[in-house]
Structure 1
Amino acid sequence: MRKATKAAARSARIRCAIYTRKSHEEGLEQDYNSLDAQRDACEAYILSQKHEGWSCLPEMYDDGGISGATMERPALTRLLADIEAGRIDTVVVYKVDRLTRSLGDFAKIVEVFDVHGVSFVSVTQQFNTTTSMGRLTLNMLLSFAQFEREVTGERIRDKIAASKKKGMWMGGLPPLGYDVRDRKLVVNHREAETVRRVYRRYAVLGSVWALKDELDRDGIVSKLRIDKYGRRTGGKPLARGALYLMLQNRIYRGKIVHKENSYPGDHDAIIDETLWDEVQRKLTDNRIDRATGVGAAQPSLLAGLIHDDAGARMIPSHANKKGTRYRYYVSRGLVRGRRSDAPRGRRVPAGDLEVLVENRLRQFLASEAEVFGAIESQITDVNECTELFARAADLADRWPSLTPRDRRAVISTLVERIDVLRETLEIRILPSRLPAVLRDGNEWRHRTQPAEADSPSVTLMVPARLKRTGMETRLLIDGVGSGARRKPDHSLCRVLVHAHRYHAMVMHNGGRTMADLAAEAGVGGSYFSRILRLGFLAPDIVTAVLRDRHPVELTAKRLANEVRLPGAWEEQRTLLGID
């Protein structure tokens, strides 16, 4: 009975919501615009159906200046929300494409209508969405509407591409240094001087940070714009991002850019070719520096060159613990995927690997026999060969004094690839580049990209075994790489310092118990006792730890937990593996 009453009430009054839309904002400011015309037509149609119980809801669902290709429309969102809330029985539109121009979106909207029992009416196109024929007709119309939208978009894109090929400015906000007159870019000479200054100062400073600081001090601001409504924008300090974009904007070279291509423009250039090329080279160098981290306190000198034994690239990574930065080279699969996805991946301390590679390269440069064997086919003059030997030896001697950027430049120029294998480290160098580097000591400062044609590579071998110690992989070095030492293990050194401190506390305990001494040291009694025993290590073992001459398996954790530590020094050496 209740359902029958509800149905009767609904048939007595059909609540109609009118939805209107206009794609462009043009004309919306008029007193009577397209949205008003659509609404009047829909209201007239609803009035003609008054005898059927149709009544127009007062709520207005108007989307002005929004494309029908998107569902992100405020009024449409409200309309669908009210339908779901049960406030609407029928949706009335002027034409189907006012609701949407996408067949996929229309299917979603109709699904919402069906779920909530809402019908759909187009004033200029007689449809009944409750029948299969009505749905077919609607779908066909929407297919044509979508086709029209796509063809229009293609036509506009083709026109833009053709116009830009002719060097025409296709609209938008003009960059600093230009104004728009008769749809063309015209140089604003006062602003153009600011642009030239930005380029010149960056060429000198080589840093956008320093450039921004200088421009801010001198009160240099962005382009001031006033729109047709009198609203002012711009006139503010230039942000770093804006400076980067300005320094790469090819419009200042008199070009018009379309996607990846640039064409001669109708406008005049502000920046000459020489200054442009210098700025782009510095931007490129700085970009490479940021990628490889050569400006950091501990840069990754081998970035982009290292591969693991599966052939996968190893990329720089780091971790921070208690203010200390630990650097690694990690197989790409371990960084970008789950560990289970890359079971053969490697994670090697960066310091170990870099010292190995640098020492092997220095050894190569200092060896006349190895240098001659690498460049023998390129040398025709004995005197030239002698000079190259001297330059190579000089570079090897100066290596420790080179900046990280210069060391990175030499390595990336000479080294083609580095493979971290289980038993060896293979460093592939390109001998064809060596004479050029040695003849001109500054050439490698700007050569970070491979030459177009290189002779076959030469492989330098370093016996270095990968061994698991604790939670990471370390390199056990011998043979050619024996001179490549790591820095002392700070954790081990800290344990020995604590041991000698605790030993001194015991020797001057003043009658206090071990528990009292442990409390004074701020540690537990068990830890205090275990570390105290290390105060009786053989002097040469302590020296080996401080000079990093100990086995890589000897870690601070192992030493602190070594409960079988004997008192005899010879037995200590045997147990800890120190000769």
Structure 2
Amino acid sequence: MENRIDAIYARQSVDRRDSISIESQIEFCKYELRGGNYKDYKDKGFSGKNTDRPRFQELMADIKQGLIRRVVVYKLDRISRSILDFATMMELFQQFNVEFISSTEKFDTSTPMGRAILNICIVFAQLERETIQKRVTDAYYSQCQRGFHMSGAALYGFELEPTTIQGIRTKMMIPDPDTANIARLMFEMYAEPSTSFGDIARSFAQEGILVYEELSRGFISQMFRNPIYAQADLELYEFFKGQEAVVVNEAADFTETNGCYLYQGRDVQEGKNKDLKNQILVLAPSEGIVSADTWLQCRKKLMANITFQGGRKPKNTWLVGKMKCDHCGRALKSMGNRRGTQYLYCTKRADNMSCEGCGTLRTAEFEQFVYEAMVQKLSKFQTLTAKAETVTPQADGLKCGAGLGGGRD
């Protein structure tokens, strides 16, 4: 007696007016079954480009357990848009004798011709997915080149204001009266040759100037790289042209007023912070905060900085990653002085002096303290791991004899 049940699979990646809902898909599939027991598997908000979908994986697991007789979908692309994934799925269906039905596309998977038609359909499903991806990408770059704000919160020093560009409603960034002066001060400080990220962070911490919750060096670095802050002029235009960036606007448009959006080019992969080649620069509708000369001084100084890759293994202490500052909760790191003595420092205090730190702790002394505490803690478990010695009279006699013989020689 057949005790397997039917399965209905439905998927909807985005909730739009022109897309059929999961509930409607299930109703179509129920009509195809014409009664009988079934279990539905619904994935909402997941793409069909891969199989990383929770209910789809549950369906595959039930098939492997021999619980499913046939799988019904509203349309082929609801279950897969990938040729490779679909081929793997059909092999599994054949292995466990599971029938596949599309309620809007009539397929007979028991014949070679039916399987061939299925494969042709899945090719076009993948083509449709890739075409949609290309349309979305083209639309993104089209809006980039027209100076649209491409989502996201306003950068520090700015606030968002609704606007209309070429008849399309969007948003633009305008200088924030509360933070624009602070952002300008940061640029002016870093433009000085001897000023570092740490100098700015420590100065702000001492003066009590709050930039978000904490002013980190990474935040400062990203801020100085962004041309939205610059009042773009001809010199800035020539700078990006010299770096082989794609400048959308004409040179005459750079009038020392507006900032610029810098978008990642289509073929740009790694090193975008230093390499500006093929990046897309377009004038923004918003005004800049600092002069182009100040911005360029900061940008060129960043490009001249030497970047060191952080170590992947503990170097100065085996306690790295296991110690936290009791005041701020940040990690402690071991740093050496000129005499070569290693001390433990709070990373937040070392970064911007905004934490009182952990006092004077010599790394070697603290390591010894932790080691002795570990030995004391584990000492009572010593007998649990000790190997019991087997007493063998014959072997002991041989050992004694060998020892006596060695003494006579």
8 Å contact 1:69–1:101 — kept in the other structure? yes
Q: Which runs of 5+ in 2 are unaligned?
A: 163-168, 231-258, 265-278, 319-409
Q: How does 1:123-138 map to 2 (within 5 A)?
A: 123-138=103-118
Q: CA 1:136 to 1:187, structure 2 compared with 1: closer, same or farther past 3 Å?
A: same
What is the 5 A alignment of 1:317-332?
none
* Residue number in structure 2 paired with 1:246: 223
Structure 1 residues 267-286: aligned runs within 5 Å: 267-285=286-304
Query: Whole-Å Cα distance in 1 between the matches of residues 107 and 57 of structure 2?
Result: 23
Tell me, in whole angstroms, the C-alpha distance in 2 between the residues paired with 1:207 and 1:89.
Answer: 68
Q: Secondary structure at the match of 1:101?
A: coil
Mapped pair 1:157 → 2:145: no
Aligned AA (1:208): F
**Could you tell me which amino acid in structure 2 is paired with residue 179 of structure 1?**
L
> When the two structures are superposed, what TM-score results if normalisation uses the length of structure 2?
0.57
Task: Output aligned runs, 1:384-423, within 5 Å.
Answer: none
1:96 deviates by 0.6
Deviation at 1:187, TM superposition (A): 0.7
2:200 is matched with: 211
Match in the other structure for 1:194:
182
The aligned amino acid for 1:84 is K
- Give the equivalent residue in structure 1 for 2:50: 70
Among 85, 90, 100, which residue is 2:70 paired with?
90
Q: Which amino acid aligns with 2:52?
A: E
Question: What's the CA shift for 1:164?
Answer: 1.8
Mapped contact 2:260–2:282 kept (Cα < 8 A):
yes
Hey, what does 1:257 align to over in structure 2?
Answer: 262
Q: Where in structure 2 are the equivalents of 1:222-233 lying within 5 Å? A: 222=212
Deviation at 1:216, TM superposition (A): 4.9
1:93 Cα deviation from its structure 2 partner: 1.0
- 3-state DSSP of counterpart to 2:285: coil
Distance 1:252 1:201 in 2: 15
* Contact 1:248–1:280 (CA under 8 A) maintained in structure 2: yes
Cα separation, 1, equivalents of 2:215 and 2:91: 50
- After superposition, what is the alpha-carbon deviation per residue over 1:127-180, rounded to whole angstroms, capped at 9, x for unaligned? 122221221211121111111221222222222223222222233333232315
CA contact (8 A) 1:219 1:237 kept: no
| Counterpart-to-counterpart distance in 2, 1:24 and 1:193 | 42
Q: Superposition pairs for residues 134-149 of structure 1, below 5 Å?
A: 134-149=114-129
Q: 1:22 aligns with which of 6, 12, 25?
A: 12
- Identity percentage of aligned residues: 30
Deviation of residue 273 (structure 1)?
0.5
Q: Indicate the RMSD between aligned Cα atoms, in angstroms.
A: 3.4
Is 1:42 the counterpart of 2:22? The answer is: no
| CA-to-aligned-CA distance 1:24-64 (integer Å, 9 cap, x gap) | 1558xxxxx81111122222322x1x4xxx4212xx42221
Query: How many residues of Structure 1 are paired with residues of Structure 2 in the alignment?
Result: 266
Secondary structure class of the residue paired with 2:191? helix
Indicate conservation of the 8 Å contact 2:75/2:105, yes or no.
Answer: yes
CA offsets per residue over residues 53-100 of structure 1, 9 Å max, x none? x4212xx42221222112212222222222222222211111111111
Taking a change above 3 Å as real, the CA distance of residues 113 and 212 of structure 1, as seen in their structure-2 partners, is farther
Considering Cα pairs closer than 8 Å and 6+ residues apart, tell me whether 1 or 2 has the greater RCO.
2
Pair 173,321 (structure 1): closer, same or farther in 2 beyond 3 Å: closer
Which aligned pairs between 1:414-563 and structure 2 lie closer than 5 A?
A: none
Could you tell me how far apart the structure 1 residues matched to 2:161 and 2:92 are?
A: 48
1 CA distance for matches of 2:181 and 2:187? 10
Task: State the SS of the aligned residue for 2:91.
Answer: helix
TM-score calculated relative to the size of structure 1: 0.42
One-letter amino acid of the counterpart of residue 201, structure 1: M
Do 2:226 and 2:262's aligned partners in 1 also have CA atoms closer than 8 Å? no
Q: Which structure has the highest helix share of the two?
A: 1
Number of the residue aligned with 1:118: 98
Q: Would you say the 8 A contact 2:175–2:287 is kept in 1?
A: no
Q: Matched residues in 2 for 1:201 and 1:116: separation?
A: 70
Distance 2:228 2:175 in 1: 14
Paired amino acid for 1:137: I
Q: In the TM superposition, what whole-angstrom CA distance separates every residue of 1:256-290 from its partner, at most 9, and x where no partner exists?
A: 223212122223223321121121122223x22x4
CA shift at 1:251, angstroms?
A: 2.6
- Amino acid in structure 1 at the alignment position of 2:174: V
